[in-house]
């Protein structure tokens, strides 16, 4: 399917999608992952709190397989071929006064978008996952009540979908979007 926009936007947005077929032969250099994290670091946030925390592991490291266990089985089955695996965590209170930061997830989402768009500019793909083992992650990262895991992210080079099971192969393509009329409403 060819994605079609109603207005002229940069192709980077159209080409962003979340594959499950990753090239297991692609080894990510730590400096490349740090470039992605640097893009996320410059995201906007409420009161400049920067509540996002990115915990990562590179495929081939001693701990990669252990962290795959923090994903539900359906996700770990394909994410094992990704070049890196991340867990995005939000700090739920403001550092300056310990009051609740009800925007921590929103701001962490902005950082995630910056991360994923930088990945596309580098020829990489990302796939965010809500199918995670929250209790295992909380324990494994030693998270306190002030931190909440949001999602996991697989990142790497896209590969041929033949390595996926039949259900995953069927979904392995960019999808469409709701119309602007469905998501935007003029107040004028």
Rounded average pLDDT over 113-138: 98
Angle between helices 30-41 and 104-121 (to 10 degrees): 130
Q: What's the pLDDT tens digit per position in 51-93?
A: 999 999 999 999 999 999 999 999 999 999 999 999 999 999 9
Render 14-53 in DSSP notation, one character per residue: HH----S-B-TT----HHHHHHHHHHHHT---GGG---EE
Sorted by sequence, the CB contacts under 8 Å of residue 60 that are 6+ apart come out as 27
Q: Is the dihedral of CA 13, 18, 24, 27 positive or negative?
A: positive
Q: What's the pLDDT tens digit per position in 9-27?
A: 999 999 999 999 999 999 9
Q: Is 83 helix (H, G, I), strand (E, B) or coil?
A: coil
pLDDT at 2 > cutoff 80: no
* pLDDT classification of 1: cutoffs 50, 70, 90: low
Phi (first) and psi of residue 128, to 5 degrees: -80, 145
Question: What's the whole-model pTM score?
Answer: 0.94
pLDDT at 8 > cutoff 80: yes
The pLDDT value recorded for residue 151 is: 98
């Amino acid at each position: 399917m060819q994605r079609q926009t109603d207005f002229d936007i940069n192709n980077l947005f159209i080409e962003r999608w979340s594959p499950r077929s990753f090239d297991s032969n692609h080894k990510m250099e730590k400096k490349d992952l740090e470039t992605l994290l640097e893009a996320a670091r410059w995201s906007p946030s409420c009161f400049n709190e920067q509540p996002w925390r990115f915990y990562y592991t590179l495929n081939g490291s001693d701990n990669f397989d252990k962290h795959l266990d923090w994903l539900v089985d359906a996700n770990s089955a394909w994410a094992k071929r990704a070049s890196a695996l991340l867990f995005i965590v939000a700090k739920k209170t403001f550092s300056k006064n310990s009051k609740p930061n009800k925007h921590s997830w929103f701001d962490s989402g902005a950082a995630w978008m910056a991360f994923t768009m930088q990945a596309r500019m580098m020829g990489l793909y990302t796939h965010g996952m809500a199918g995670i083992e929250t209790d295992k992650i909380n324990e494994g990262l030693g998270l306190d009540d002030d931190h909440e895991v949001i999602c996991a992210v697989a990142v790497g080079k896209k590969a041929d979908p033949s390595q996926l099971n039949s259900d995953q192969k069927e979904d392995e393509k960019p999808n469409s979007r709701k119309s602007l009329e469905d998501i935007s409403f003029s107040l004028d």
